Structure 1
């Protein structure tokens, strides 16, 4: 239902309203919210806000009837803003709380920026490694070891891990690098949760980075085809595991474990995979992890637009196909991605729409969400840490097709969902 413009004298608790002023001109955390106390109403009046927009469908109460002598104040008349010292103790408390949230938000944005820089640095490093494999394969393993050491150092030293959505801007020609880095990050998380030691996790990371290396020998027309592959094309694509082993065997110093994973990362637990059709414990335990994380990222980034799944739907799909994967690994992936994985579009309990941008392993039901607010510039868009908000929860995951275009443009969900790890402040 559309909003209704009402005089501030008609406000009472239980009404869901939107303030007609800039976000930084009032002490409330959001421009749109449900009134809870009479003190909030007095603050609105004290700020000289003569009218608000009411959303009846989101309200628990009706506005007060208009006074007999309706005030003549209009939105065009200037309002004198009171001095800060005139504000009530309640208003001052809200201003202080809002300032703390702003400072926390700025610190969070700095963390995300740092995380994006680390992701792009790792991406560039991986690109350089792939180039060395083509030109000087004898140097590739050493460079890959440096990259593995870098991306595992933070994760292995911290218990509390945050997985961030990365808004990357690189060319689609680098899809293989994005995919390999995503698979490595997610595989490391699973391996750590299983209690693997550092050496084993680094083997897993190394193999994840190289698992699709054989695709360099597959025609680009097949790799980038945006319609279903023919049977001959599918068979050609399946050869990438064999090609990958051939290339890996030329890389001096690459662990034997990595070569096994490259060969087996498309084998399924029920024997329906390829190239050998082995099943269960016949499949290397690390290859079982890469098979899962590879499948998840591939579901999110299918070349066929209609087959692409949002992260939430990809996890649900994998769970329905759980006979194909090691169930312990699947449960770990679901746990650490969260109920609402980064990249998910969600509706909050206050009716606002948002984009999940990070999830903490200790707060899986309470991700950080960037919310749509037309009154706030996109670069200052509110980011709400739901772990700090007892009054606000995720109601549901929303598909992009059900969200207005202007909201999608504001939230800017990534066509390619990439992740990176962060810990602490």
Structure 2
């Protein structure tokens, strides 16, 4: 039998993986493809007037029935059970649709706030040379507002943002590192003053790259040794940007200078070791390294958020503070927003959001060719008894699935309320 075979409903049984050949709107199931869990589901399919389904032998736990089950729904009890099941499933499906709408509203609101923050950061950086005091005060106000949101809510969601616009790479990266540093600092139970300090330092940590010629930053082939050496001076260039800003806190300057320094002395620009690196420097290095791995540089290709976390956990044990690495994983989850995953149901999806209180159950937009993209259902891994099988590189997705899920070329995060 072929992998996907058209069969009579009378031949299916519990454990079969099937696809319904009708519009998503014309049945109460959350997905058009699923594994049959009960006889009542089969009777429900029959009650919809569906005569044939598509049987997927590879995803099925059981074979088709050799002898067709042609029992009709005549019993009052069976009719009642099927009717009740249909009502429950329709209500659940509608609830999931509403949940998707709520998620999209939250995403849009967070996206708008993220764009406002980016605009503020551009304005702040542009004023560093001519009005450094105003520039730093504006940045402090923005970080203070972000800290207030972090401190005032215990039910926050980390959302995946839209792709980066050309020319905004440095600003997106700086916002990413700032937001995640503050989240980790809160999780580490640092004082508010320290959370604001690490957020402020992270916001300015890469402004020195604005002094590096664009033909070096955007070079598509490996850099020459002199070019590499120039690029490695960008932390010190960032400090030079802040020379006239008298109100910029000294501890934040250290983390800017040291955000590429590793505990074993293998970092740059000075090759400092653990005993010379304060906790702010060690925290920003963890977050900066994660974001660089996710989004890549001209010297390295980008990796999935899942792969980036795995690489840091396995290969950076001597380079990064293990407590902070552990806190990063516990904060954004094993499958951070932006991860492309395959589910135990055989479906593909993209992690859109992670509730910071429920990192094991991220919100996943799932590919279903029969379901309109704007109504794509949200998987509740716990309720649906579906698990994540593996994380995939974007290149592994067929073109139709890639267009539907719209994976981001660069990963940016925004924080919103659940």
The TM-score normalised by the length of structure 2 is 0.92
Q: Distance in 1 between matches of 2:335 and 2:204?
A: 29
* Residue 250 (1) aligns with residue 239 (2): no
CA contact (8 A) 2:158 2:413 kept: yes
Q: Distance in 1 between matches of 2:38 and 2:133?
A: 70
- What is the aligned counterpart of 2:219 among 209, 222, 225? 225
Instruction: Give the match for residue 277 of structure 1.
Output: 271
SS at match of 2:389: strand
* Residue 41 (1) aligns with residue 36 (2): no
* Residue 132 (1) aligns with residue 133 (2): no
What are the superposed Cα offsets for residues 64-110 of structure 1, whole Å, 9 maximum, x if unpaired? 347699xxxxxxxxxxxxxxx99712211211222222222222221
- What is the aligned counterpart of 2:328 among 327, 330, 333? 333
User: Cα offset for 1:137?
Assistant: 2.2
* Residue 293 (1) aligns with residue 287 (2): yes
Q: Which runs of 4+ in 1 moved over 4 A?
A: 66-69
Instruction: Give the match for residue 395 of structure 1.
Output: 389
Aligned residues: 407
What are the superposed Cα offsets for residues 106-132 of structure 1, whole Å, 9 maximum, x if unpaired? 222211221111111111111111112
Question: 1:331-370 maps to which residues of 2 (within 5 A)?
Answer: 331-370=326-365
SS at match of 2:168: helix
SS at match of 1:21: coil
Q: Distance in 1 between matches of 2:63 and 2:272?
A: 66
SS at match of 1:323: coil
SS at match of 2:127: helix
* Residue 117 (1) aligns with residue 118 (2): no
Instruction: Give the match for residue 75 of structure 1.
Output: none
Question: CA 1:10–1:306 in structure 2 vs 1: closer, same or farther (change >3 Å)?
Answer: farther
Q: Which segment is superposed worse, 201-210 or 366-375?
A: 366-375
What are the superposed Cα offsets for residues 4-35 of structure 1, whole Å, 9 maximum, x if unpaired? 11122222211111111222211111111111
User: Cα offset for 1:276?
Assistant: 2.1
SS at match of 1:275: coil
User: Cα offset for 1:305?
Assistant: 8.8
Q: What is the alpha-carbon root mean square deviation over aligned residues?
A: 2.0
Q: Distance in 1 between matches of 2:280 and 2:35?
A: 50
Q: Distance in 2 between matches of 1:387 and 1:139?
A: 49
Q: Distance in 2 between matches of 1:306 and 1:324?
A: 18
Q: Distance in 1 between matches of 2:360 and 2:69?
A: 48
Q: Distance in 1 between matches of 2:393 and 2:245?
A: 43
The TM-score normalised by the length of structure 1 is 0.91
CA contact (8 A) 1:269 1:280 kept: yes
CA contact (8 A) 2:201 2:252 kept: yes
What are the superposed Cα offsets for residues 312-358 of structure 1, whole Å, 9 maximum, x if unpaired? 11111112112111111111111112111111111111111111111
SS at match of 1:396: strand
What are the superposed Cα offsets for residues 357-408 of structure 1, whole Å, 9 maximum, x if unpaired? 112233222211111101112222122132443x111111112222212111
CA contact (8 A) 2:160 2:353 kept: yes
SS at match of 1:12: coil
CA contact (8 A) 1:26 1:47 kept: yes
User: Cα offset for 1:226?
Assistant: 2.2
User: Cα offset for 1:412?
Assistant: 0.8
CA contact (8 A) 2:366 2:378 kept: yes
Q: Distance in 2 between matches of 1:20 and 1:305?
A: 48
User: Which runs of 5 or more structure 2 residues have no equivalent in the other structure?
Assistant: 71-79
User: Which runs of 5 or more structure 1 residues have no equivalent in the other structure?
Assistant: 70-84
Q: Distance in 1 between matches of 2:83 and 2:233?
A: 72
Q: Distance in 2 between matches of 1:385 and 1:14?
A: 20
Q: Distance in 1 between matches of 2:404 and 2:224?
A: 38
Question: CA 1:343–1:47 in structure 2 vs 1: closer, same or farther (change >3 Å)?
Answer: same
